A = this chain, B = another copy of it.
Amino acid sequence: MNSKQIPTDRWSGSVTLNDVARKAGVHPSTVSRALDPAKHLRVKESTRERIIEVADELGYRPDMVARGLKSGKTGTVGIVAADLGNTFVTPIIHGIAATLESSGLLPTIAESQDDHARMANILDHMLSRRVDGIVALAARAADRKVLESASQIAPIVLAGRPLDRTTLPQVVQDNEAGGRLAAEHLAALGHRRVAQLRGPDDVANFPRRAAGFTSVVDAMGLVEVTVPDRAERPVVEEGQRLMELLLETSIDLPTAVFAHNDLMAVGALAVLRQRSIRVPDDVSLVGYNDMPMAGHLTPPLTTVRYQSLEVGRRAGEMILGLLAGKPSENITLAPSLVSRGSSRRV
């Protein structure tokens, strides 16, 4: 169209409230009111019709930036994830985004990479951009202070990863129950010697899973072979490393292994296959999260289901509620065990 224009000022062409007002022969404030669904009744029917007609004839598009400056609301919600590559977080994000969409909000997403400095930096950026609220999926113990202080500026909800000793509202799963579920499942299959591949301690999910698991182990008199380390990050490579560590350090191998998430289970699976240790014939394996691909692995992975999508939805609703000024109540979802091919009776 305007190909000879200097590309610098693309915005020069954008039509503003004033343009509409001028063309419709009214004052800008009238246009503003006519277009605001909350108060367009205060404008005479005929005027409003004319304005609306002119508005979309000109292709008027409200400038959220200007609106945000005046009103303080930008219609944007920040989401901080640890790592988009973890297929457990994408459903959460999906859930959040779907919920926000109904209110015309758009998510702004950043990855913390489980790095504290980065997390702090991201929060700063988001607040700088005046997000209306933030959903943190990446909370680690070390992040508590920055999150809490940021929450004085914009409401924050924790989703997927809880935090100990915080007043921040959270929607998470009962990880202890999940850990118990895994242990009870294995016990019911007759396993006596078990082991855990633990996720990092500073992500509250993992110690809780471990505690739940161990509580059942103790209660039922099973033996837990300890792996002398835990994952730095809950990823495939660390699952491999821990599995190898388990194989090296234990004289008497456990007959069942509980990996603290599916990604680590995948890593464990790879190591076992490579050493020709059959799953589930030689060792049963239970994962956690029920990530989308879990059922398609070979063998299909027995795992504790984390209703990621639901967590996302609830978190979205919670943010919406907070933005509307409603108080929030923590939400804890119940896990369930999905029994598939990677575990069997011994």
Q: Which residues of A contact B (CB under 8 A)?
A: 1-2, 7-11, 13-14, 61-66, 68-69, 72, 74-76, 84-85, 87, 90-91, 93-94, 97, 104, 106-111, 122, 124-130, 152-155, 236, 266, 269-270, 273, 292-293, 296-299, 325
Contacts and interface: CB of A to CB of B under 8 A. Distances in A.
B65 A69 contact: yes
A83 to B, nearest CB: 8
A325 B7 contact: yes
A106 B126 contact: yes
B297 A296 contact: yes
Contact of A97 (B7, B66, B111, B152): B111
A94 B109 CA distance: 11
Contact of A14 (B2, B7, B68, B153): B153
A108 B110 contact: no
A94 B90 contact: no
B108 A61 contact: no
Given A108-B109, A109-B107, A152 B10 contact: yes
Which of A125, A299, A325 neighbours the largest number of chain B CB atoms within 10 Å of its CB? A125
28 contacts: A1-B152, A8-B325, A9-B72, A10-B152, A11-B130, A13-B153, A61-B124, A61-B127, A63-B128, A66-B69, A69-B69, A74-B129, A84-B90, A84-B93, A84-B94, A85-B91, A85-B292, A87-B293, A90-B90, A104-B125, A106-B110, A106-B126, A107-B108, A107-B109, A270-B296, A293-B293, A296-B297, A298-B298
Contacts of A91: 85
Contacts of A270: 296
A94 B104 contact: no
